[in-house]
Structure 1
Amino acid sequence: MPDLTTLVQPDRGQPARTIHLIDAKGFDAWLAAQPPRHRTAALAQKLAPTGYSSAILPGDGPEDWSVVSVVANVERLTPWCLAKLAETLPEGAYRVDGRDPGKAIYGWLTAQYKFDRYRKKDDKAQGARVLLTGDPARMEEALRLAGVAFKLRDRINTGANDMGPADLEAAAADLAKDYGAALTVVKGKEVEKGYGMLWAVGKAAGEGREPRLIELEWGNPEHPRIAIIGKGVCFDTGGLDIKPAAGMRLMKKDMGGAAHALALAELVMQHRLPVRLHMLVPAVENSINGEATRPGDVMISRKGISVENSNTDAEGRLILGDALTRAAENDPELVFDFATLTGAARVALGADLQAVFANDDTLAAELLAAAESEADPMWRMPLYEPYKEALKSDVADMVNAAEGPFGGAITAALFLKEFAPEKAQWAHFDIFCWNGSAKPGRPKGAEAVSLRATWKVLKDRYAG
């Protein structure tokens, strides 16, 4: 990961090129007011009243130039307003004319992310594009958010051969060491004794990649207890209900929920939020061998609910169910779980809009308001109780996956609700965490989603 402090720095009046921002609605008026050489340069570079459009404006000398960029609303900058410039401008220092970049600092940073773990190293020195800001507090917040987002992206982009259950455990161990947290790991045969669904999913993975429940606790026990849970399926073959090749291609990202839990937990500890944090990552690989769980097998969950495995490719909800039960044993007041859980959520909402289910209207309203404020989009989906009928089993208390193509994200969330703490406010995030194509500030590949919104909710609630 690059040193992010080299990409955004306090504005102390040092030399820097100017970035002029103009509203898309005011484009014609701005263009008409420009001197002829600026109008000529803008038109030659096809500057247009659309987001991310930009041009270089000449000055009096060959090195005396500035930048103009079009934004939707110059009074309300989003995280992505300057991201395209951070990808395309020449190296050097820049300041926004007449205002602080604010939330746009985040996109400036994330636009300069590169995943190069498996590439030959480029020995040529790369110059930085540096953004200046007069708001040190905003700068520090953006640096922290971008820092955990870079780690999150790295973990999801990494091949499953280098990001297995043991690697997630190592990531949690590093967090525990860095922030003085307590780490507990139950793994291998010990999982079988207390976490029947987690064991059923991960038992076929083999030595070195055994299933495990990773737990991290931090903070004053007298403070409000919160739980953050992330699905850690490090690779998903689908089990005996095996996925086709196309469906398996990106299954290294099936631990995206775990990556989000690690990132949000780090933000909590970095800011020393006055909470008692309990982070849980059920980590497995859904593999196939002679020990693999079969369709029709019945598992006994940690909660004691018997579950008939109606689809071995509906494994994420199983491991989350046991983790939710474990979290409930400590009576948290707030629980977030993150999971790349269902294709049905993507069919309903697409890749960019994340599905959230909540058992409390107040919590849901906070999350949606934060999503709007942070340009971190999510949409509340219903926990429609009549659909629970589809989870009935002929031989057990319930099945893990309903038959048929309808309402899959809802029935998955209803399954989880059976294991969520009854007295806690609980939100389940069915996330995609992947950019199929590049956007400014969001390169193709892994992406942090719902992270900034959930962090804002936690900060607003507990920071005081």
Structure 2
Amino acid sequence: MSSTTPIPILLVTADQLQTHFKAEKNWIDAMGFKAEPGTFCLLPGAQQSLSKVLVGRPETLDMWLLGLLSQSLPANRYELTSDLTPDEATALTLGWRLGQYAFNRYKQTKPGAIAELLPPDNADLAYIDAVVEATFLARDLINTPANNMGPDDLEEAARILAVTYDADLNVTKGKQLEAENYPMIYAVGQASVSAPRLIDLRWGDVDAPKVTLVGKGVCFDSGGLDLKPAKGMLMMKKDMGGAAHVLGLATMIMKLNLPVCLRVLIPAVENSVAGNAMRPLDVIPTRKGITVEVGNTDAEGRLVLADALWEASSEQPELIVDFATLTGAARVALGTELPAFFCNDPAFLEPLEKAMQATTDPLWNLPLHEPYRELLNSKVADLSNVSSGSYGGAITAALFLQEFIQAQIPWIHIDVMAWNLRNLPGRPEGGEVMGMRTIFELIQQQIAVPQN
């Protein structure tokens, strides 16, 4: 860092710019700064130093307002000097910190120092640190290519978390999956040289309310024998994005010590091609006991999730949440930056909306439209893994998963891109968590009850 004394950052409106900075007017005009939200202007001080930074202030502060500054400003130490509420101080500091992320694992030349922000005294540092740790973990997992992020590596990431937070970890692997009745997880992953497995992490007081997280851990998806085209495979290292989300969310829960009994289930597989790969129109048994016809081997994520969700239901938790990079249909409907969610319990919809607003972490509710269920009927099995129609793919995928949730258990399914296609403030292009902060807020407000 080139400065030890923090340089002030002031959030200013256009009106304040005219009334409070008359002495600097010529410089500000020369820089073309008009205090538009998110823009900034460096003000010089004595001896060619940087005296302060002006940032355009919107009517309502957004957590991403400072998201680009940590990568844009000179590598000094900065501090916010505007009056902020605790929520505003926390959000702005978090947006700055998340903007510091860069994935440099494979670069020989590492970037130099970047700008640092001293958090305001009223910011919630514990929450900020937990979100940053969780988000950076998930982004790293998603960004890592499949040759270094296979099922073995995903298991190791879970094992490190278990050691760090004193959680229990159990892994059911390879042929053991068949012996312990996880036939669909085994069928999807059996063609890979890296054995399929179910990663099962447990943490917390067993008498606390139960929350179970399930994450799709397809570490690479070739499409199986219904092979994806080359362009379709380019981003398939991110097909374990659901697993990254639940490991990130588990990090937040454990680091902040929420009073819940947490369970995390990750079916970790690689959908590969070999002589023993599952074939189109194979019929596979399930942990639930029903049979599934494989209409398309590229709809493998719902197969591995189904066995994990039925196991998740077995303990009757207060809430099951799954994250999955499941359908292109959800992206067509909502774009890549707004994840779809489905919920079988209307009582959770209003709390979810409040959680989204509190965290600036949006999701969009799509319906579990029951009339579409018949599109999953099979002539030879109890269920097909793909719809007989070409529309509503996100809904029919969610309806397939719902078949493996026991009645009366609240369940939220999040169909997520897990990837930024463009650079956004605080959210660089590449692997991304979406909905994690919202679900943490929901669990904290609706499920976590302090134990006496």
Which TM bucket (shorter chain)? over 0.9
Tell me how far 1:78 sits from its aligned partner: 2.4
Matched, 1:21 2:11: yes
| Aligned residue in 1 for 2:399 | 414
| Aligned residue in 1 for 2:185 | 198
Q: Tell me how far apart the structure 1 counterparts of residues 36 and 334 of structure 2 sit (CA, whole Å).
A: 25
AA aligned opposite 1:344: A
AA aligned opposite 2:130: R
Q: Tell me how far apart the structure 1 counterparts of residues 347 and 92 of structure 2 sit (CA, whole Å).
A: 29
Which of 378, 384, 396 is 1:393 aligned to?
Answer: 378
Q: Tell me how far apart the structure 2 counterparts of residues 353 and 288 of structure 1 sit (CA, whole Å).
A: 32
AA aligned opposite 1:94: Y
- Summarize the alignment of residues 43-192 of structure 1 with structure 2, pairs less than 5 Å apart: 43-63=29-49, 65-73=51-59, 76-100=60-84, 101-122=89-110, 126-135=112-121, 138-192=124-178
Contact 1:298-1:307 within 8 A present in 2 as well: yes
Contact 2:293-2:380 within 8 A present in 1 as well: yes
- Summarize the alignment of residues 216-365 of structure 1 with structure 2, pairs less than 5 Å apart: 216-365=201-350
Secondary structure of the residue that 1:83 maps to in structure 2? coil
Stretch deviating more after TM superposition (374-383 or 43-52): 43-52
Contact 2:35-2:55 within 8 A present in 1 as well: no
CA RMSD in angstroms comes to 1.7
Q: Tell me how far apart the structure 2 counterparts of residues 264 and 141 of structure 1 sit (CA, whole Å).
A: 12
Q: Tell me how far apart the structure 2 counterparts of residues 459 and 87 of structure 1 sit (CA, whole Å).
A: 32
Question: Taking structure 1 as reference, are residues 110 and 437 closer, same or farther at Cα in structure 2, changes over 3 Å only?
Answer: same
Q: Tell me how far apart the structure 2 counterparts of residues 36 and 140 of structure 1 sit (CA, whole Å).
A: 39
Tell me how far 1:417 sits from its aligned partner: 0.4
AA aligned opposite 2:9: I
Q: Structure 1 vs Structure 2: percent identity of aligned residues?
A: 44
- For structure 2, list consecutive stretches of 5 or more residues without a partner in the other structure: none
AA aligned opposite 1:346: R
Secondary structure of the residue that 1:131 maps to in structure 2? strand
Q: Tell me how far apart the structure 1 counterparts of residues 35 and 231 of structure 2 sit (CA, whole Å).
A: 39
Q: Tell me how far apart the structure 1 counterparts of residues 449 and 132 of structure 2 sit (CA, whole Å).
A: 20
Matched, 1:436 2:436: no
Secondary structure of the residue that 1:184 maps to in structure 2? strand
User: Structure 2 length normalisation: TM-score?
Assistant: 0.94
Secondary structure of the residue that 1:395 maps to in structure 2? coil
Stretch deviating more after TM superposition (87-96 or 135-144): 135-144
Q: Tell me how far apart the structure 2 counterparts of residues 46 and 390 of structure 1 sit (CA, whole Å).
A: 58
Number of residue-to-residue matches in the alignment: 442
Tell me how far 1:133 sits from its aligned partner: 2.5
Contact 1:41-1:55 within 8 A present in 2 as well: no
Question: Taking structure 1 as reference, are residues 222 and 398 closer, same or farther at Cα in structure 2, changes over 3 Å only?
Answer: same
Secondary structure of the residue that 1:41 maps to in structure 2? helix
Q: Tell me how far apart the structure 2 counterparts of residues 448 and 351 of structure 1 sit (CA, whole Å).
A: 12
User: Structure 1 length normalisation: TM-score?
Assistant: 0.92
Contact 1:368-1:379 within 8 A present in 2 as well: no
Q: Tell me how far apart the structure 2 counterparts of residues 303 and 135 of structure 1 sit (CA, whole Å).
A: 52
- For structure 1, list consecutive stretches of 5 or more residues without a partner in the other structure: 1-5, 7-13
Contact 1:261-1:279 within 8 A present in 2 as well: yes
Contact 1:239-1:286 within 8 A present in 2 as well: yes
| Aligned residue in 1 for 2:360 | 375
Tell me how far 1:463 sits from its aligned partner: 5.5
Q: Tell me how far apart the structure 2 counterparts of residues 379 and 368 of structure 1 sit (CA, whole Å).
A: 9
Tell me how far 1:51 sits from its aligned partner: 2.8
Tell me how far 1:60 sits from its aligned partner: 5.0
